[in-house]
Amino acid sequence: MNLTAIYEVDNYKEIAVEIAKQAYELLQLPIHELSREVVSTKYRSLLRARNLITASNHVRQKELYKGVASSFPSGFLQEYESELSEFDEYNWLKVLTRNSKRHVHPLRHLFLMHFLQQDIGSLVITSTDQGAFGTGPFPCLNKAAEHYKQFIIQDVDVTRDFKTKNLIGTFTCSCGFIYARKQSTDIFKIGRVKEFGHVWYQKLIDLSRGNISIRAIARELGADSKTVKKYLEPPIFKQDQQKVPMTVSKLDSYKAEFIAIVQKHPQSSRTQLRKIYQKEYMYLYSHDKEWLFNTLPAPQKLYNEVKTVDWNKRDIQYSNAIKTLYEQLWASEKPIRITTSLLGKRLGILANLERYLEQLPITKRLLEQITESVEQFQIRRCCKIIDNLKCELSDVKLWRVQRLAGIKSKDFKTIQPILEVYIQEGGIDEQQRYKA
């Protein structure tokens, strides 16, 4: 005896029960416990912990899409009308993780929480997103300054290390001291000093005039002894602080050489000359910038080529794509109301359908023929229910049809005559079915 049908396993049961429990917990929360803005910042905090937020504070949508899709059994999201499309700019996952005014169904919030391995209780106590390094202020770590370790730096510049991919924060103080550290480093530890600043330099000069060793100065300034020695060597602290003037003959020789280069390449742009002759360019840029810019060819104006859209070709492409999708939707087991919005979102062309429909006559005519009003969709849904009931029952009752379709009585009375004809004759004319 084959008992497979009796013990058939529901692949979605375990995860569906878990989501249902979270939905119940969500309903127990006071209605104002979590606002949309607060929930959004909590999501960003959880995504940042999973390295799904970039240094520029954007969500890694591709990685997030793959992660969410892989955290559910195949077909689960489609079963709950939450299928994800990576190329759809309006899919519910992108709307949830962006600063958007659009609303998303609570069930889809629970799907995202499942991926983030959170329940309602843990989400409530999750702190809101404070950024990779917090909101500040941040401490100045210049030991030469009077405000050492005081929280006076207001902003942080976040970048990503090219090799390790770690987030790096750069902190700039008003005293000129600039330092950087990793996200995981203690706030009072310096990863690398980018600029010591004028306060640190002045303190170095003052200490060097006393009878103090290099190591003692290094300890006082919080720097390595080699660094102190380097900055005490000339010509860093010459009285006039001016560059040593270059010999006239050497500068003139570079100028003569560069004039020959420009004459040799009359069609080359400034950028091309700079890339090919880097040594000569940088030398002249450092010692006589004004002469260099006067000698270079005039800046070239860039003209962006305006691409003209072939609306006839696009009209045919859109109409063919819509026909294919329409046939799939019409043949689906569960009826779906066919609207311009649905077709546009599924195909990723909604913006063009809303703005440029007048330039797409074939597509416009097709949409007028196949899109449904609410009443038309109700009729189609009821007809499909009647067909299914006829396979099970000899006598189909309209009250049963109304209950299965979930249509309000006042709306059902409007379409009832059409359904009676359908039951009696086994079919109705398309124009009568869609008589609005």
DSSP letter for each residue of 44-106: HHHHHHTT-B-TTS-B-HHHHHHHHHHTS-TTHHHHTT----TT-TT-HHHHHHSS------H
pTM over 0.85: no
> How far are the Cα atoms of 31, 131, 191 from residue 158, in angstroms, in the given order?
37, 10, 14
Taking the CA atoms of residue 428, residue 432, residue 433 and residue 436 in that order, the dihedral angle to the nearest 10 degrees is -170
- List, in order, residues 6 or more apart from 188 with CB less than 8 Å away: 139, 141, 149
SS3 of residue 179 by DSSP: strand
**pLDDT truncated to tens, each residue of the chain (436 aa)?**
455 554 455 677 888 888 888 888 888 888 777 777 788 878 888 888 787 877 777 888 888 888 888 888 888 888 888 888 877 777 888 888 876 677 888 888 888 888 888 888 888 777 776 677 777 788 999 888 888 888 888 888 888 777 777 788 888 888 888 898 887 778 888 888 888 888 888 888 888 888 888 888 888 888 888 888 888 775 444 444 444 444 445 777 788 888 888 888 888 888 888 888 888 888 888 888 888 888 888 887 666 666 788 889 999 999 999 999 999 988 888 888 999 999 999 999 999 999 988 999 999 999 999 999 999 998 888 988 888 888 887 788 888 888 888 889 888 888 888 888 888 876 554 444 444 3
**pLDDT confidence of residue 398:** 87
Q: How far is CA 306 from the centre of its chain?
A: 28
